[in-house]
A and B are shown apart, each in its own frame.
Chain A
């Protein structure tokens, strides 16, 4: 049964890329991280196993601007498992220039509590 409790991660702290091994205790309440080379790695292993999160950056359609696309990002990290869904959810969104950097394009995207915000000004062409 222990086999199902051991998980592997590649540490992203530095180019060494330590192979981390994370083992959950029997109750699933705590983890032990092995294979790390430094404290950053140890903390990363724990975070990546218990609650991996990512900032999602993508773009939406914008009309009347210098470019056809407006870059956007989530205002904070979202659960890793939701990255694709978040990107897919904003795909049909279209806005019109001008847009200011920081403008909320989609509020509380998929109920994650974070907003999709513009990351640049898009002036009218």
Chain B
């Protein structure tokens, strides 16, 4: 089938573009190299919806951060992923940092960002008693929020698919050919996928994908960030996302109350050579905990339950690269690093406009349904509601993951919504994300995956590829 648009890359950007295009009567395909969407950079994102005042003026980042920020409420309303506007505090720990707060406040106001306020020490401690006594002042930004970035990807693609977008997973693009009439043929291990337009949202690999059609000229440098998740004992220690005063290199190491309440600390920011280097390090852990202890002294490495690292796709010049290329029909959407998640909905609209300019006819899709059915988050429901559901379906009464109180029914729903791996279940339901890190529930989740997908236990993976969990016992010769 000839597609109108092929999107390369199923991170949050590719998924947002796929869903934005699903409003139109178009044949769209999204090609993802991993076994599920969101399994690359998006999965290990800090999950912050930035307030709108961080990125410098005169950049694409600055333009799209605030535009994107304002689109999240509607998106959340339609797609029901975890999202809360809990605000952010940028802390000045010394008098000489006060001008920095003022700079960001002005930058925000000039752009129209609302709810920016300088707080004095007393106000800070009234609102956030866990913050260090050394704090001098802070800039509070009410428009900041947190999302579960992986859930955003899953919801976006689910919505896009319901509205007709095709998803091909395990489909890395190895080459792109172009025939006489300008049609692209994207080469994947499963065969060639023909398309009239291509959107390059390949994240870390967007430079390589662009080069396949000669629309390159930029390179992507992975900048690693290590993050550390803390035990939910510390839930509620801080409510706002806590920032230090930023430096030109980075927004700094933060204390992030995630949507589900667990605290996360990080990220580091180190350039690495290898686009697969997602290692965490003893040095990274030291750096992160030393940095956050200065802001919130009650945080200790003893509370760490898990750690991970992600790679930001940083383009030369640090700004986003969004736009048509010399190759007609091939659009780049590259170098999307912070505030890329915040900007994602605005970036998707920008791509729609660019494709239109490139000559893609956009007829509204009369069957477009923006809403997804609300998903049950059993643990978050009031008890009466839980009781009613358990009465209705005993699988709600059966707790699959005890640490995060995830019911077996939610795990089943996740599998029916597309989870094919243990990580697919974990990032959709939180089963295995708590303090036992799957020690108790892994085997049960595997049994359910095996039964629902009709595959043997040995075919189940953590996140696709060779990430198998168990192998068969050697039975020996029959006696």
A61 to B478, CA, bound (A): 12
Instruction: Give a binary string over A40-77; 1 marks a CB under 8 Å from any B CB, 0 the rest.
Output: 00000000000000000000010000000000000000
A93 to B477, CA, bound (A): 9
Q: Which residues of A contact B479 (CB under 8 A)?
A: 89, 92-93
A3 to B178, CA, bound (A): 80
A91 within 8 A of B: yes
A80 within 8 A of B: no
Q: Which residues of A contact B179 (CB under 8 A)?
A: none
Q: Are B476 and A61 in contact (CB under 8 A)?
A: no
A95 to B475, CA, bound (A): 13
B474 within 8 A of A: yes
A3 to B208, CA, bound (A): 68
A91 to B475, CA, bound (A): 6
A93 to B476, CA, bound (A): 9
A88 within 8 A of B: yes
Binding site secondary structure of chain B: loop
Chain B 434-479 residues near chain A, CB threshold 8 A: 473-479
A106 to B476, CA, bound (A): 16
Count of chain A to chain B residue pairs whose CB atoms are closer than 8 Å in the complex: 13
A88 to B477, CA, bound (A): 9
A61 to B476, CA, bound (A): 12
Size class of the B contact interface (CB-based, 8 Å): under 10
A92 to B475, CA, bound (A): 5
Considering the complex, give the chain B residue whose CB is closest to the CB of A94.
Answer: B475
Q: Which residues of B contact A61 (CB under 8 A)?
A: 475
Considering the complex, give the chain B residue whose CB is closest to the CB of A60.
Answer: B475
Considering the complex, give the chain A residue whose CB is closest to the CB of B473.
Answer: A91
Q: Which residues of B contact A91 (CB under 8 A)?
A: 473-476
Instruction: Give a binary string over B365-407; 1 marks a CB under 8 Å from any A CB, 0 the rest.
Output: 0000000000000000000000000000000000000000000
A89 to B477, CA, bound (A): 9
Chain A 4-62 residues near chain B, CB threshold 8 A: 61
Considering the complex, give the chain B residue whose CB is closest to the CB of A88.
Answer: B476
Q: Which of B474, B476, B477, B478 has the most chain A CB within a 10 Å cutoff?
A: B476
B427 vs chain A, min Cβ distance (A): 29
A70 vs chain B, min Cβ distance (A): 14
Considering the complex, give the chain A residue whose CB is closest to the CB of B477.
Answer: A92
B331 vs chain A, min Cβ distance (A): 52
Q: Which residues of A contact B476 (CB under 8 A)?
A: 88, 91-92
A92 to B474, CA, bound (A): 9
Q: Which residues of A contact B473 (CB under 8 A)?
A: 91
A85 vs chain B, min Cβ distance (A): 12
A88 to B478, CA, bound (A): 11
B165 vs chain A, min Cβ distance (A): 40
A95 vs chain B, min Cβ distance (A): 12
Considering the complex, give the chain B residue whose CB is closest to the CB of A61.
Answer: B475
A88 to B476, CA, bound (A): 7
Considering the complex, give the chain B residue whose CB is closest to the CB of A89.
Answer: B479
A93 to B479, CA, bound (A): 7
Chain A 68-125 residues near chain B, CB threshold 8 A: 88-89, 91-93
B448 vs chain A, min Cβ distance (A): 16
Q: Which residues of A contact B477 (CB under 8 A)?
A: 92
Q: Which residues of A contact B478 (CB under 8 A)?
A: 92
A89 to B479, CA, bound (A): 8
Considering the complex, give the chain A residue whose CB is closest to the CB of B457.
Answer: A68
B230 vs chain A, min Cβ distance (A): 35
A104 vs chain B, min Cβ distance (A): 15
Considering the complex, give the chain A residue whose CB is closest to the CB of B479.
Answer: A92
Q: Which residues of A contact B475 (CB under 8 A)?
A: 61, 91-92
A93 to B475, CA, bound (A): 8
A91 to B476, CA, bound (A): 6
A91 to B479, CA, bound (A): 9
A92 to B478, CA, bound (A): 5
B297 vs chain A, min Cβ distance (A): 40
B216 vs chain A, min Cβ distance (A): 53
Q: Which residues of B contact A93 (CB under 8 A)?
A: 479
Q: Which residues of B contact A92 (CB under 8 A)?
A: 475-479
Considering the complex, give the chain B residue whose CB is closest to the CB of A93.
Answer: B479
B198 vs chain A, min Cβ distance (A): 48
Considering the complex, give the chain B residue whose CB is closest to the CB of A59.
Answer: B473
Considering the complex, give the chain B residue whose CB is closest to the CB of A69.
Answer: B473
Chain B 231-262 residues near chain A, CB threshold 8 A: none
A69 vs chain B, min Cβ distance (A): 9
Considering the complex, give the chain B residue whose CB is closest to the CB of A91.
Answer: B476
A89 to B478, CA, bound (A): 10
Which residues from chain A sit less than 8 Å from chain B, CB to CB? 61, 88-89, 91-93
Can you name 4 extra interface pairs (CB under 8 A) apart from A91-B475, A92-B476, A92-B479?
Answer: A61-B475, A91-B473, A91-B476, A92-B477
Task: Sort A-B residue pairs by CB-CB distance and give the 8 closest, nearest first.
Answer: A91-B476, A92-B476, A92-B479, A92-B478, A92-B475, A92-B477, A91-B475, A88-B476
Which residues from chain B sit less than 8 Å from chain A, CB to CB? 473-479
Can you list 13 A-B pairs with a CB-CB distance of less than 8 A? A61-B475, A88-B476, A89-B479, A91-B473, A91-B474, A91-B475, A91-B476, A92-B475, A92-B476, A92-B477, A92-B478, A92-B479, A93-B479
